Amino acid sequence: MKKWEKGWDKKDITFKKEKMAFIDLQNELPGIRGPMIYRPETGTILNDLAEVLLHDEDNTLSRGDREMIGAYTSYLNDCFFCQNVHGAMAQHYFQCDMQFIDNIKKDFLSADISEKLKSLLSIAGSVQKGGRFVTAEQIEEAKKLGATDREIHDTVLIAAAFCMYNRYVDGLNTWAPTDRQVYIDRAPMRAREGYSQLGLTK
Amino acid sequence: MAYIEVKEGVPGIRSLFQFSPETGKPLCELAEVLLRGPSPLSSAERELVAAYVSRLNGCMFCMNSHAAAARHLFDEEKQVVDELLHDQNAESLSPKLKALLHIAGKVQGNGKSVTPDDIENARKTGANDTDIHDTVLIAASFSMFNRYVDGLASFTPTGEAAYEEMGKRMGQKGYHI
């Protein structure tokens, strides 16, 4: 399979500029795709985890809500690649504009989203600081607003997983396209195919 | 008491794997390949990175269990585990392991705090690309595992005996479900 077949256009590489990953990834793909292809043994599993957390249909949280939790956590971790990939995914599912997503990231309490999603984003924000920052009151509030144990579990694990993905992407200094439209253009394809379909051939 | 209804008395992440086997599967596979799969770093060294990051995150369950696994795997050299947990520049650590633990500590804070100098220093001690990759991903993954365990307030056993047994099993059997 050609390197560019799965959606990243060769023109995206013009955004690469001077940024070099800390190790020789032996491929030019942006963000997490670079190290995933470098080390497919772990890359495949990381995609499987993303698939079950974010794309699996057997979940009472919508795909949009789950992507938003990932995008918000990535925003708090200041990971440009992940917050744009997953912000664009949430935008695709919510059928909204970029400003709507940016407003949620900056101040979700004032955003036009359900009170339940607000309570889950608040839990995700605590997880981002550290697991022990989550309080019994936050959990109680989410449950009062209708969140099930399963939904609370998934919220905590999505936020925790993005604390991993973000550190993987930035800890190896991978590059990311700076044009945010690039991420929005790719979202419909990723929504269709999911994460486990990502080819990991070089 | 955990924040969600998990089986009582089952410790830490195992209660969460039982609650959610769908996510437990990739999480166990990740731990297995990262800590036991092919790598230029020994399993004992990788467990040490895991225990160190868990200590920085204040996750007692992960720190105690992975420290116990590292002690089991280091066998006669097991004192290195407790020396590291008291002092990250402990004499008994090889310069390479010290440099990699330094990178792991940076990743624990935020991926962006790793600098080219940190990488260069690790290379000078003989670390290659895969050593660095695996260190970064182990540190990143424990930034997940720790938050998962503590974010749901899962049961953390106290007392060394419980962890010694756990560490022995992790050392011998790994992380297959």
Q: Cβ separation of A22 and B116 shorter than 8 Å?
A: yes
Question: Is domain B25-36+43-173 in CATH 1.20.1290.10, yes or no?
Answer: yes
- Token representation of residue B9: 């008395």
Mind listing the pLDDT tens digit for each residue in A18-56?
679 999 999 999 999 999 999 999 999 999 999 999 999
Nearest C-alpha neighbor of B169 from the set B76, B1, B36, B21: B36
Sorting pLDDT into bands at 50, 70 and 90, what band is A4? Answer: very low
Residues of A in contact with B156 (CB under 8 A): none
pLDDT-wise least confident of A27-31, A61-65, A131-135, A147-151: A27-31
> Alpha-carbon distance A138 to B1, whole Å?
15
pLDDT over threshold 50, residue A168: yes
- Interface probe for B, chosen from A163, A166, A174, A196 (most Cβ of B below 10 Å), is A163
Q: What are the φ/ψ torsions at residue B24 (nearest 5 degrees)?
A: -60, -35
> Alpha-carbon distance A173 to B116, whole Å?
9
Task: Please give the model's pTM, rounded to 2 decimal places.
Answer: 0.94
End-to-end CA distance of chain B: 24
Q: What are the φ/ψ torsions at residue A160 (nearest 5 degrees)?
A: -65, -45
- Interface probe for B, chosen from A18, A19, A20, A22 (most Cβ of B below 10 Å), is A22
> Alpha-carbon distance B157 to A67, whole Å?
34
> Alpha-carbon distance B48 to B39, whole Å?
14
User: What distance in Å separates residue A111's CA from the closest CA in chain B?
Assistant: 25
User: What distance in Å separates residue B76's CA from the closest CA in chain A?
Assistant: 31
Q: What is the pLDDT of residue A53?
A: 98
pLDDT over threshold 60, residue A12: no
Q: Cβ separation of B29 and A149 shorter than 8 Å?
A: no
> Which positions 77-116 of B are in contact with A (Cβ < 8 Å)?
103, 106-108, 110-112, 114, 116
Q: Cβ separation of A168 and B143 shorter than 8 Å?
A: no
Residues of B in contact with A126 (CB under 8 A): 151
Q: Scanning every residue of chain A, which has its alpha carbon at the shortest distance from the alpha carbon of B1? A: A136
Question: What average pLDDT does this structure show over A143-161?
Answer: 98
Mind listing the pLDDT tens digit for each residue in B18-29?
999 999 999 999
- Cβ contacts below 8 Å, chain A against chain B, sum to 150
pLDDT over threshold 80, residue A201: no
> Alpha-carbon distance B135 to A77, whole Å?
19
Question: What average pLDDT does this structure show over A126-147?
Answer: 98
Which sequence spans correspond to the domains of chain A?
Answer: 32-193
Question: What average pLDDT does this structure show over A117-131?
Answer: 98
Q: What is the pLDDT of residue B15?
A: 94
Q: What is the pLDDT of residue A16?
A: 57
Q: Cβ separation of B150 and A131 shorter than 8 Å?
A: yes
* Exposure string for A182-199, b = 16+ CB within 10 A, e = fewer: bbbebbeebbeebbeebe
- Token representation of residue A202: 């070089």
In the numeric block, the tokens 């056993």 are attached to B157
User: Which residue type occupies A16?
Assistant: K
Mind listing the pLDDT tens digit for each residue in B102-154?
999 999 999 999 999 999 999 999 999 999 999 999 999 999 999 999 999 99
Residue A171 near chain B (CB below 8 Å):
yes
What is the SS3 assignment for A28?
A: coil
pLDDT over threshold 70, residue A2: no
| CB-based contact B5:B12 (threshold 8 Å) | no
In the numeric block, the tokens 């996750």 are attached to B59
pLDDT over threshold 70, residue A8: no
- Residue A90: burial class (beta carbons within 10 Å; 0-12, 13-18, 19+): buried
Contacts of residue B26, Cβ cutoff 8 Å, sequence gap at least 6: A45, A48, A49, A52
Sorting pLDDT into bands at 50, 70 and 90, what band is A5? Answer: very low
Question: Is domain A32-193 in CATH 1.10.460.10, yes or no?
Answer: no
Q: What is the mean pLDDT of chain B?
A: 94
